[in-house]
C-alpha cells in the first residue's frame, strides 16, 4: 500500500468513527438548564444572595466561573463554611448532575447593590461557564424569609 492510499484509509476510518460517535450521542458536552431561582428581599441595604439550581444533562462536567447582574457590578460566588461566607473561584456542575445554590450553602452574592430589590421585582443574572455559553436567568424577588428547600416533599 502506498502512502496516499494509507492516508485515504486513515481518513475514511476517522470519518466513520466520527459518524459513529455522533450517532451514539457520545461526548455531547455539558447541557445546562436552570430552575427554581430566586433572590430573597435583602435585609441589608447593600448585599443580596441569589439561589438557583443548574442542571447538567450532558456527559461532560462544566464550571460556573462567575455571574454578572443588573443590580450589582460586584457579584461573587460564595460558599458557607462553619456559618461564615467565603468567596470561591468557581462551582462545579457535574456531568449528569446538578449544582444547587441554596440558603446556608453555596450561593451567588450581589455586593454593593445599585438598587435594593423589593418583593415582586426581578433580578437579571447572567451565569458564565468554563465550557458552555452564558445563561441568562431572571430571578424573582421573594420575601426575606422565603426558603423552598425547607419545604417537605
Ligand atoms: Cu455570601
What CATH number is given to the structural domain containing 37?
2.60.40.1890
User: Ligand 1 centroid to 29 CA: how many Å?
Assistant: 30
Same domain, 114 and 97: yes
Distance CA 121, CA 142 (A): 8
Dihedral sign from CA coordinates of 91, 92, 93, 98: negative
Same domain, 23 and 36: no
User: Ligand 1 centroid to 73 CA: how many Å?
Assistant: 15
| 91 is a domain residue | yes
| 135 is a domain residue | yes
Q: What is the DSSP letter of 27?
A: -
Q: What is the DSSP letter of 22?
A: H
Nearest to 50 by CA among 81, 75, 83, 85: 75
Same domain, 56 and 116: yes
Same domain, 87 and 65: yes
Domain housing 13 = 1-27
Same domain, 142 and 93: yes
Q: In the predicted model, is pLDDT for residue 35 greater than 50? A: yes
Same domain, 133 and 68: yes
| 152 is a domain residue | no
Same domain, 37 and 107: yes
Nearest to 63 by CA among 26, 94, 105: 94
pLDDT digits (tens, 9 = 90+) for 121-148: 999 999 999 999 999 999 999 999 998 8
pLDDT digits (tens, 9 = 90+) for 41-68: 999 889 999 999 999 999 999 999 999 9
Cell numbers found for residue 52: 438557583
Distance CA 124, CA 130 (A): 20
Tell me the average pLDDT of the chain. Answer: 88
Question: Which residues are within 5 Å of ligand 1 (an ion), measured at CB?
Answer: 78, 85, 109
Same domain, 45 and 106: yes
| 151 is a domain residue | no
User: Ligand 1 centroid to 77 CA: how many Å?
Assistant: 7
* pLDDT confidence bin for 149, thresholds 50/70/90: confident
- Domain count for the chain, please give it: 2
Range in 9-13, 39-43, 81-85, 111-115 the model is least confident about: 9-13
What is each CA distance from 151 to 57, 99, 119, in whole angstroms?
25, 19, 20
Same domain, 107 and 124: yes
Amino acid at each position: 500500500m502506498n502512502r496516499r492510499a494509507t492516508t485515504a484509509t486513515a481518513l475514511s476510518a476517522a470519518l466513520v468513527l466520527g459518524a459513529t460517535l455522533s450517532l451514539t450521542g457520545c461526548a455531547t458536552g455539558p447541557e445546562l438548564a436552570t430552575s427554581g431561582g430566586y433572590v430573597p428581599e435583602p435585609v441589608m441595604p447593600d448585599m443580596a444572595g441569589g439561589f438557583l439550581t443548574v442542571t447538567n444533562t450532558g456527559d461532560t462536567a462544566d464550571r460556573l466561573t462567575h455571574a454578572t447582574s443588573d443590580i450589582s457590578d460586584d457579584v461573587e460566588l460564595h460558599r458557607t463554611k462553619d456559618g461564615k461566607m467565603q468567596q470561591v473561584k468557581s462551582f462545579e456542575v457535574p456531568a449528569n448532575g446538578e449544582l444547587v445554590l441554596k440558603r446556608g450553602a453555596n450561593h451567588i452574592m450581589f455586593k454593593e447593590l445599585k438598587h435594593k430589590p423589593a418583593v415582586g421585582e426581578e433580578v437579571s443574572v447572567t451565569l458564565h461557564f468554563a465550557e458552555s455559553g452564558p445563561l441568562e436567568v431572571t430571578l424573582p424577588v421573594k420575601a426575606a424569609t422565603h426558603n423552598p428547600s425547607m419545604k417537605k416533599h
